[in-house]
Structures are given as structure tokens and as C-alpha cells.
Structure 1
Amino acid sequence: MTIAVKVLHVNQARASKSFDIECEVLRNIRHRNLVKIINSCSNVEFKALVLEFMPNGSLEKWLYSQNHFLNVLQRLNIVIDIALAVEYLHHGHSLSVVHCDIKPNNILLDTDMVVHLGDFGIAKLLGEEDSMIQTKTLATIGYIIWIRRDCFYKSDVYSFGILVMETFTRKKQTDDMFGEEMSLKRWVKESLPSSLVDVVDSKLLNTGEREGLAAKDCKLFILQLALECSAEVAEERIDMEEVVARLKKIKTKYLHGTEQAEQVQVDGGDVTVAVAGG
């Protein structure tokens, strides 16, 4: 059996707490889109988690490596898988969990390109006494903002929205083009809908005309949803149950549109065949 071993640096101040939190979370949750813990090792000098191995690495690698490419449907499936994982953490279990660090490095892909959300080292288990935490000091800057107790869930929704933008634009929040005057979210918001082609990953633009129309609508709806998730006011962000429902509708429309395009292309030739599912 091939495994992955996550070793924590015991000399770091938060290592023990991070290890305890991750063990507590992972032994209480089970979901297709969460990394599975196999075992743990812990003593004074060494702490490690034994996890299932993800052969296709992280979303970070697939987005930014020159040797990898994700098409529209693959990216759509990935964000749906992430949304399902977060929905489960928030609403699908008696122990509610806020991940607090949703980013491409923590999105892992198995052999079939199915997402497994990992790294629960700074997760929050709802029910703890903290009334407010400054998560900017705990998580990756730019992915999490201030959290009040009644807005815990919405912090993950915000992070998810930013992640979706990054997935479809292939731009990091730390890209050189962003600074005090411009951010990833503002760039996307000011470009939709008229300048969609200016923000979408250029690798996604090389499609046929009819198939491209379905893909264009898909990318537009996805980025508009991402903006709703990342609204500045937490109360204005939609919850993950609605996010999942809307993503599934977007996927259905995209698949229907591409099937129609394939049917037209086939009908225009010498042979007509039925498209599966049509």
C-alpha cells in the first residue's frame, strides 16, 4: 500500500496543537472528498499523520505547472468536489468543522482526478469558546478574513469563492499584477460580463465555436457564483448547500450545451449518430 506521511515540526510553537486538531477532525469525519487518515504517530520528539496517497498531487501543481492542463469540465468537477467536501464539513455531520485554509495546495487529486480536501491543522470545531479569532495570522493571507462566531461558515465560503476564481483564471492572489489598487476579486468583478475573455485562463479559450458558447456560459456563471461567495459582508454570502445546488445546475447546462454542439457537428457531416444522453 502506498501512503503519504505528514511530519510536523515539533519545535514549532503550534505543531502540537495543529496535530491534535487534525487528529480530532479526521477521526470524526468520513467523506469521499476528504483525505482519509490511516494512522498517527506521536511522542515527545516526533509527530506524524499517515494518510492515503494522492498520486495526482495538488491543484496548485495542475494550475501552475507548464506540463499540466485542466479543461473546463475538469475544473468544474474539481470545484464541485471541493464544494461537496465543504458542505459536508459545515452541514453533513454532527461535528461541524470550519476548514479555515481552503487553497490549491490543500486540494489533492487521486488517480481518477477526484478531489480530496486535506490539511485540517488550523480547522475550527464549532462549539469552542472563542468568540472571535484573527484568522489572518493563522491561514494563508488573502484566503481568510476576520471571523465572528456567527460567521464561521462564511469564512470558508469566502475562501472557496477566491479558490474558484483562481482555478478558472489561473491567477494567484499574489500575482505581480495585483496590489493595493487591484485584487483578484476586483479584477474579476470589473471584467464581467463584457470582458470575460480577459480574465479566464487563456488555455481554456481554444475551443470550437458552438462548444465554446457552452463553455463561455459555464465560465461566466462560475465566476459570478465565486463573486457571490466572496462578498465583503459575510451575511451576503450564500451557504455551501446553495453553492452545491447551483454548481450542479451549471454542470448540467454545460453538458447539455456541449452535447447539442456535438449533435450539430455530426448532423452537418455525412453520418448522423445519436449523442449519448440526448
Structure 2
Amino acid sequence: MGKLVSMARLDLSYNNRSGNIPKSFEALRYLTYFNVSFNDLSGEVPISGSFKNFSSQSFMSNEGLCGDPIYGLPPCHTTGPKRRKLMLRVVFSLFGIIVLITIDMALEYAVGRYRRKNLVENTTDFAPGTTLSRFSYYELMQPTQGYSENHLLGYGSFGSPSPWSGLSGPAHFATSSSIYRGTLNDGRDVAVKVFDLQCQNSFKSFDVECEVLHNLRHRNLCKVISTCSNQDFKALVLEYMSNGSLQKWLYSDDCLLDILHRINIMIDVACALEYLHNGYSTYIVHYDLKPSNVLLDEVMVAHLSDFGIAKLLGEGESNAHTTTVETLGYIAPVPIRCDVYSYDITLMEVFTRTKPSSEIVYGELSLRSWINDSMPNTITRIVVVDSNLLGPEEEDYTEKLKCLSSIMELALNCSMESANERVNMQDVVVASKKIRFQLLT
């Protein structure tokens, strides 16, 4: 019928017809009268051609028809196409997230592989079972300009701030080593850790550091490049970390770390500890984890340092290879899983910017107790967090608060007084990455 282009009138009213009005009727340009009222038609009424001139009387009593309001018809439902568009948006969004996660994992793998490759290339004798190359005392004189004060980075000792902590002198603690910055002939910047041989356990701590660092390979551990050892002089040549310590970044007015930076750093630390606990043939306890022993390289990747106080645990028993002055506030009430406890305290300090040794500020409350008492209440929960991380005017305020709450809950789970109730570092790594993912999405 749509081919009868000369048709002028069409009256199909009261014909008990069903189905759609053919779209081809729009081509009937001579059609001046059209009536399909009182039928059982359905679908959309054409709107072009002669149909522009018809009124609602042409389509009365067809409950299934829809179209332009000028015909007195309800609008056609477009939920199908809209729903398809919505589904496409959801699918593309999910696909985008999956692509981002895949890229992130690929980059993390590539960076790790690149660092491992450099580790092998730059320290060819760093493999287990081989001997580290050694510098002589005089070979280290030139890079450090005779171990001058101009090249002095700081001091190190058991339980004390590390060389990159930003401290200018050995006040308030007895030093067991001095750390100097130098540049080797091949252009590499290094940190030369010179041990005080008059300090008790200096020989032993030197031997332990050599043994541990010589056999460990992980992107988040500070690596040893070489050593220097004779009867009167012992030193480690370490990879230099240009951005200093986490302690410096937390408490210096010139440095600022946002939430994501801090999460990434603490994930790096957790990965390093997880490797020490599970990735090496011998279970290793760092035993002195704190912000001053977390060093940051040029791209703000964290490296765990100071293995002079590490304990090497033999299978089935604990053998202390060094003695250590336990740092106030960071050491667990019981020695088992002390690294997990120290990680918790460090995690709390990083996100509250409050040192555990400052507990006198809160009366008899420790840093952990102060945070634990603040968790049930949103207002007090905000108070304990570093004010630089959370401002009420921020657009993503709620998301950041949830993220910080999750971090504090994780920290509290790490510091249960019963070691058996604490999570292990593998769980900490998984939980930390989950928190980061939630923040990013």
C-alpha cells in the first residue's frame, strides 16, 4: 500500500486491524485524509511526510500506538536503547578499570624486572655464595673527600635515627657509624657507612649487615654495592637514596606527602618485610623498623635500611646475631612478630604525624591506645589524622576519610598485644593494596 504514491484518502477505521503503521506511508505525499481510529494498532506513528498534517482524530482508540504529543499519543518508550547505552557505558567503564589495573601491574612488574636486572648488572658478584667486591680505605677517600664533614649525611646507631634522617649531629644518642655521601668513578652516587670500631658489637653488626645484604634481593631493600674491611676500618658502600628518609618527609616543613604517597611508601615497606619474613631461606627479623630507617629514592620508592640490628632466625629456633637498643614506642610487648608490631606503629605515625615517643602528650595513653579510643567516633577519628591529609572543603573528603579509617583499622590489627592475634605481613600487603585500589577508584 505504501507504493500507491497517488493515494489521496485512506480510511481504515473500525477495521479491527492490528500491527504497526508502515513507515513507508510517509512517502504518500498526496495523502490528505488518513483515519485508522478504533483499531488495535501498536508501535510508533510516523512523523514525516503527510503525517505532519494529521490530528489526533486519525489515531483514536489504538491503545498500543505511541508517538508525537500532537497526535494525543503517549511518548514511545526508549528504555531499550537507553538501557543498552547504559550497559555499554558500564562495560566500557569496567573495561577501562581492568585496563588500568593491567597497566599498573605490568608497569610494576617491568619496574621490578628492570631494577633486578640493574642489580645484577651493577653488582655482578652480589649473588648468593659469591664474595662482594671490596674497596680499600684509600679508594673511598676520593669519593668522600677524605671522609670530610661536607660529605657527612648523618649518624647511625642501634635504635637511633638513620643516616638519611636529616639530623645534623649525634646528639642524644651514641653513634655506632657515620655515613658519608660520595660519587664513584663510574658516576654512581653512594652512601658510605663507616663503623665505629670502638663501639660494642660494631664488628658483629658489620658482619651481619654484609651477610644479610649480600644475599638479599628485593626492590624495597637498600642494597649494598661494596664493602671495605681491614683491622682498623670497616665500611659498607650502599646505594644512595636522593630523597632521604621518611622521617624527614614527615616532619620537615619543606616536604609534603599526600595520602597516596604515604600508602605507596607503606606498601613498599610491607613488601620488604614480607620478603624478609617469607622470601628468603632464613627467616629474618629487621627488629628496628621506624620512619628514619625507610629511605626514598629519586622516584619516591621506599627502601628499608639498617640491617645492623637485624636478627636471623634459624629454622625452629631464634638465634640473635646482634644486640639492639630497642627504640622507644616501636618495639612490641613480646618479641614474636615484632616487625608486624613495629610496622603498625610506623603506619600510625605516618598517617597521624605523631611520634610514639610523644605519648606523654596524651597522658598515660600510648599512640595505639589514643587511636583505638578515637576510632568509634567520626569527629575524634578526624582529630588523630594528620591535618595535611584531610580538609573538610575537599571534594573527595568522604572517600579519603574511609580510606584513612581503613588504614587505622589495619594498623590496630597489626598491633594486638597477643602476637597470635596479629595479622602477618602477607595479609598486610594484600590489605594495603586493596585500600590503595579503593582510593584510586
TM-score, normalized by length of structure 1?
A: 0.85
Aligned twin of 1:54? 241
> Any conservation in 2 of the 1:34–1:85 contact (CA below 8 Å)?
yes
Q: After superposition, what is the alpha-carbon deviation per residue over 1:56-92, rounded to whole angstroms, capped at 9, x for unaligned?
A: 0000000001111100000000110000000011011
> Any conservation in 2 of the 1:168–1:201 contact (CA below 8 Å)?
yes
Aligned twin of 1:275? none
Q: Please report the RMSD computed on the Cα atoms of aligned residues, expressed in angstroms.
A: 2.0
How far apart, in 2, do the equivalents of 1:239 and 1:164 lie?
Answer: 15
Aligned twin of 1:255? 440
Specify the code of the residue in structure 2 equivalent to 1:40: T
Aligned twin of 1:191? 374
Aligned twin of 1:111? 298
Q: CA deviation at 1:206?
A: 2.6
Q: CA deviation at 1:95?
A: 2.4
> Any conservation in 1 of the 2:333–2:417 contact (CA below 8 Å)?
no
SS of residue in 2 equivalent to 1:40: strand
Q: Which runs of 5+ in 1 are unaligned?
A: 257-278
Q: CA deviation at 1:93?
A: 1.8
Q: After superposition, what is the alpha-carbon deviation per residue over 1:202-242, rounded to whole angstroms, capped at 9, x for unaligned?
A: 11123654412111111110011001101111111000001
Q: Which has the larger Rg?
A: 2
In 2 relative to 1, CA 91–185 (structure 1 residues): closer, same or farther, beyond 3 Å?
same
Specify the code of the residue in structure 1 equivalent to 2:369: R
- Structure 1 segments of 4+ aligned residues over 6 angstroms from their partners: none
Aligned twin of 1:231? 416
Q: CA deviation at 1:99?
A: 0.4
> Any conservation in 2 of the 1:41–1:47 contact (CA below 8 Å)?
yes
Identity over aligned pairs, percent: 51
> Any conservation in 2 of the 1:28–1:95 contact (CA below 8 Å)?
no
Aligned twin of 2:212? 25
> Any conservation in 2 of the 1:35–1:118 contact (CA below 8 Å)?
yes
Aligned twin of 2:179? none
Aligned twin of 1:167? 350
How far apart, in 2, do the equivalents of 1:97 and 1:180 lie?
Answer: 35
> Any conservation in 1 of the 2:309–2:324 contact (CA below 8 Å)?
no
How far apart, in 2, do the equivalents of 1:125 and 1:132 lie?
Answer: 6
Aligned twin of 2:402? 217
Structure that is richer in helix per residue: 1
Q: How many residues align?
A: 251
Q: CA deviation at 1:139?
A: 2.5
How far apart, in 2, do the equivalents of 1:213 and 1:136 lie?
Answer: 46
How far apart, in 2, do the equivalents of 1:30 and 1:227 lie?
Answer: 30
Q: CA deviation at 1:122?
A: 1.1
Specify the code of the residue in structure 2 equivalent to 1:201: D
SS of residue in 1 equivalent to 2:249: helix
How far apart, in 2, do the equivalents of 1:168 and 1:193 lie?
Answer: 17
How far apart, in 2, do the equivalents of 1:128 and 1:179 lie?
Answer: 41
Q: 2:224 aligns with which of 10, 14, 37?
A: 37
